[in-house]
Amino acid sequence: ILNVEQSPQSLHVQEGDSTNFTCSFPSSNFYALHWYRWETAKSPEALFVMTLNGDEKKKGRISATLNTKEGYSYLYIKGSQPEDSATYLCAFSTGTASKLTFGTGTRLQVTL
């Protein structure tokens, strides 16, 4: 059974704070690690898909790193804004078009 864990479950930060979340996943049969941003009443939005050990990806103020040998990924948000408030999901896949196995998500709330 593949188990993907995320921490913390929820996080409340002030505008301008930088923050990071963790996703841990099985290191065997690894193909890709996906990060999604999910706002209430909207579609989960793909942020990053990473496949190689040591991968680092960046999109504006959000970046992610990947360690496939030890089975973890970090998502960083620099200078959090209220519009960053969302649930951040990570998911693990074992093939190009295989199913995604999701973590529980980290719920981020950014206040002024």
Which chain residues interact with other proteins by CB under 8 A?
Answer: 32, 34, 36, 41-44, 46, 49, 51, 89, 91, 96-105
Measured between alpha carbons, how far is 101 from 85 in angstroms, rounded to an integer?
23
CB-wise, 42 or 70, nearer to other proteins? 42
Q: How far, rounded to the nearest angstrom, does the alpha carbon of residue 26 sit from its chain's CA centroid?
A: 15
Measured between alpha carbons, how far is 67 from 81 in angstroms, rounded to an integer?
27
CB-wise, 13 or 49, nearer to other proteins? 49
CB-wise, 42 or 83, nearer to other proteins? 42
Measured between alpha carbons, how far is 23 from 104 in angstroms, rounded to an integer?
10
Q: What's the closest the beta carbon of residue 5 comes to other proteins, in angstroms? A: 10
